[in-house]
């Protein structure tokens, strides 16, 4: 009788590793999407949530795997760090 592919030694652990890597990749993608959605909500089209004045770009902060963009309100000193550069929508 011919040996089936999945009965070969080392195939089951290999498939298990590939499934684990795939699951972690999907989780990483979902977390990144949630982070971007949160940044869009926090951006508030460039308006300060406290006083309504325009947020100004302050600086870019380098992290291990990303860059944070810091904006501040000159009126009330509100500061926010977002995951990407933002532009106001008309």
Residue 4's pLDDT is what?
79
- CA-CA distance, 35 to 31, in Å (whole number)? 6
Residue 70's pLDDT is what?
92
- CA-CA distance, 85 to 87, in Å (whole number)? 7
Domain boundaries, the chain: 5-82
Residue 67's pLDDT is what?
85
- CA-CA distance, 54 to 77, in Å (whole number)? 11
Per-residue pLDDT of the chain (90 residues; tens, 9 = 90+): 677 777 778 888 888 999 999 999 999 999 878 877 777 788 888 899 899 899 999 999 888 877 888 999 999 999 998 877 676 655
Residue 19's pLDDT is what?
95
């Amino acid at each position: 009788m011919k040996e089936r592919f999945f009965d070969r030694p080392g195939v089951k652990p290999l498939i298990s590793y590939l499934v684990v890597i795939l699951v972690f990749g999907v989780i990483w993608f979902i977390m990144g999407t949630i982070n971007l959605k949160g940044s869009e909500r926090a951006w508030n089209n460039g308006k300060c949530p406290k006083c309504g004045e325009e947020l100004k770009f302050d600086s870019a902060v380098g992290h291990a795997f990303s860059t944070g963009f810091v904006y501040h309100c000159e009126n009330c000193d509100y500061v926010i760090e977002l995951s990407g550069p933002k532009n106001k929508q008309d």
